[in-house]
Structure 1
Amino acid sequence: MIINNNIQSVTSLYGTSQATSSYRARSKAAESARDEVEISEAGQNFSEMLQKLREEPEVRQDKVEYYSKAIANGTYQVSAENIAAAMLGQRI
């Protein structure tokens, strides 16, 4: 599913950001005897967004039902141009 691929991409970028933050945290720890962790607003937003995406169902049942009924009724129409563009990997 496209969403899963995007989550993996964002997660890998977030991991890179985490590594940089980890380095900064270690140098601050060397300066003081007390360890502290600060999560940026962007990190908090990412965490909230990731949680919401994980709560979403894997399959959007409403869309499945809609297209299943349209196909069964014979009302689902796809243009030949759209099919050809999808086969060639182009966007219309």
Structure 2
Amino acid sequence: MIINSSIQSVTSLYGASQPSRAYRARRAADEGIRDEVEISAAGQNFSEMLQKLREEPEVRQDKVDYYSQAIADGTYQVSAENIAAAMLGQRI
């Protein structure tokens, strides 16, 4: 018994008996069957947060103004520890 030829003939018959994708789509449309998508609560929360982030300005002008003024006044001080940690890629 040759298995390969038997499997090929069975799979070809199975493929021929399956309705085409276009036929199934038409049939579903005729029967009023509709696809549905349901978004989880986590997905909805993520979408809401993303929308809020998109509404925020890209530059926080209040921070820019504060630090620009502090640098101009000479009152902006950074500790040597923080500079060294940043150079080494560490966080304090």
Q: TM-score, normalization: structure 2? A: 0.62
The SS at the match of 2:62 is helix
Root-mean-square deviation over aligned CA pairs? 0.8
Q: How many pairs align?
A: 60
| Identity within the alignment, % | 92
1:23 corresponding residue in structure 2: none
1:57 corresponding residue in structure 2: 57
Structure 2 Cα separation of the partners of residues 77 and 40 of structure 1: 47
Structure 1 Cα separation of the partners of residues 59 and 86 of structure 2: 22
Q: Which runs of 5+ in 2 are unaligned?
A: 1-32
Structure 2 Cα separation of the partners of residues 75 and 34 of structure 1: 65
2:86 corresponding residue in structure 1: 86
2:72 corresponding residue in structure 1: 72
State the AA in 1 paired with 2:67: Y
Alignment of 1:4-83 (within 5 A): 33-83=33-83
Q: Which runs of 5+ in 1 are unaligned?
A: 1-32
Q: TM-score, normalization: structure 1? A: 0.62
Query: What is the deviation of 1:41?
Result: 0.5
Query: What is the deviation of 1:37?
Result: 1.2
Structure 1 Cα separation of the partners of residues 86 and 36 of structure 2: 51
Query: What is the deviation of 1:90?
Result: 0.5
State the AA in 1 paired with 2:54: R
Q: Following TM superposition, where does structure 1 have runs of at least 4 consecutive aligned residues deviating by more than 6 angstroms?
A: none
Query: What is the deviation of 1:56?
Result: 0.8
